[in-house]
Amino acid sequence: MPATMNPSTSRIQVRPSTEREGRKDYISIRDYGFWYGQKKALDAISLDIPERQVVAFIGPSGCGKSTLLRNLNRMNDLVDGISHEGNITINGRSIYDPGLEVISLRRRVGMVFQKSNPFPKSVYENVVFALRVMGVRDRSTLDEACETSLRKAALWDEVKDRLQDSALGLSGGQMQRLCIARAIANRPEILLMDEPCSALDPIATGKIEELIHELKEQFTIVIVTHSMQQAARVSDRTAFFYLGKQIEYDTTEKIFMNPSQAQTEAYISGRFG
């Protein structure tokens, strides 16, 4: 394919980065390396994620995007034989601080997975799950949290009459939005999204992207995506990874319009990966 003919870049429209008030190094990753057993999956990652902004992780398959994302709420603790070097702090506090309980970390850092994974429970119970495990019993609190989260996830109107029905009866897109509603029900500070739209049609994808725009008023969002257009549409900053290394991290505008690394340029223009 000739380098000049590059339809994907020409179509990409970058939303001007909106700088909001907030800590610039809200999440701070410093010289971070990570191993699955003997295999080094991440190497020398250093980046700061500002408060209430959307940061996109892009890069070819297997480059370690999910690994980094899943380390932000220590989901990788489930894997045997892992180890790390360097540090990650959230709002100044290390996530590996022995005094910090993993559970309380995960309550502050919500997560939406690539494949929607609703519980085999009612829609209502799915949304309020995080509150229930925190010990909230009060019915009106739960009802209210359920409604606000479903509204924020743009799902309320579709499911308000079937809150007690099984969540497994929803469509794929509805399920994914339900998972988002579930992740934000206990008002985390950070929302991690691992390819949240990869199984969705363009309309559902559009809804979720819309949602991300609204959610970033309140949450700091980290999103992994394979779609350049999506990264460009939703994110304020973008990090490009390759083979476990952080190649470039900058504002989305800069990455897509004027990347400083040749590898980034090649990946974005689709000549690579």
Partner 1 sequence: MASSSDSNTPRGEAWVWFTGLGLIIGLGMVIGLLSLVFVNGVTVFWAPPVPVAQIDDGRTVIGQLAQRRIRAGSLANAPQYERQYQVGLRELNGNSYLWVDEAKVKAETFPADVLGLERVEHGPAFVRPQALRKSDGKVIPITDPAFESALQAEVSAAVVVREKFEEITRHRIGEVNREMDEARVALRRAEDLKLADEIPVRRRQIDGLEERFVILKAEAQKVVNSGAVATLDSKDAAGRAVVIPLTQIVRAWFPNRLDTWGRTQLFASRLGEFIFHEPREANTEGGLMPAIFGTLVMTVFMSLLVTPFGVITAIYLREYAQNGPILRIVRISVNNLAGVPSIVFGVFGLGFFVYVLGGSIDQLFFSDQLKYNNNTPVFGTGGLLWCSLTLALMTLPVVIVATEEALSAVPRGMREASLASGASKWQTIRDILLPASAPGILTGVILAMARGAGEVAPLMLVGVVKLAPTLPFDTVAPFLHMDRKFMHLGFHVYDLGFQSPDSDAARPMVFATTLLLIALVVTLNIGAIWIRNRLRARFKGAAF
Ligand X SMILES: Nc1ncnc2c1ncn2[C@@H]1O[C@H](COP(=O)(O)OP(=O)(O)OP(=O)(O)O)[C@@H](O)[C@H]1O
Q: Which does 79 bind (CB under 5 to 8 A by kind): ligand X, Mg ion, partner 1, none?
A: ligand X
Binding mask 37-76 for ligand X (x = CB under 6 A): --x-x-----------------x-xxxxxxx---------
Q: Which does 23 bind (CB under 5 to 8 A by kind): partner 1, ligand X, Mg ion, none?
A: none
Site membership for ligand X, residue 238 (CB under 6 A): no
Answer whether 222's CB lies under 8 Å from 190's CB. Answer: yes
Residue 41: is it exposed, middle or buried by C-beta count within 10 angstroms (0-12/13-18/19+)? buried
Q: Which does 50 bind (CB under 5 to 8 A by kind): ligand X, partner 1, Mg ion, none?
A: none
- Residue 246 sits at φ, ψ, to 5 deg, of -85, 115
Site membership for partner 1, residue 75 (CB under 8 A): yes
Site membership for ligand X, residue 206 (CB under 6 A): no
Three-state SS at 14 = coil
How far, in Å, CA of 257 to CA of 86, rounded? 31
Closest CB 80 distance from partner 1, rounded Å: 7
Q: Which is nearer to ligand X, 50 or 59 (CB)?
A: 59
Q: Which of 50, 59, 64, 110 binds partner 1 (CB under 8 A)?
A: 110
Q: Which does 28 bind (CB under 5 to 8 A by kind): Mg ion, partner 1, ligand X, none?
A: none
Q: What is the DSSP string of 40-102?
A: EEEEEEEEEE-TT-EEEEE-STTSSHHHHHHHHTTGGGGSTTEEEEEEEEETTEETT-TTS-H
- Cβ contacts of 54 within 8 Å, gap of 6 or more: 212, 216, 221, 222, 223, 234, 235, 236, 237
Closest CB 63 distance from Mg ion, rounded Å: 9
How far, in Å, are 53, 140, 157 from residue 215 at the CA level?
Answer: 10, 23, 18
Kindly list the residues in this chain that would bind partner 1 in the complex (CB under 8 A). 73, 75, 78, 80, 103-104, 106-107, 110-111, 113, 115, 117-121, 129-130, 132-134, 166-169, 171-172, 175, 179, 182-183, 186, 199
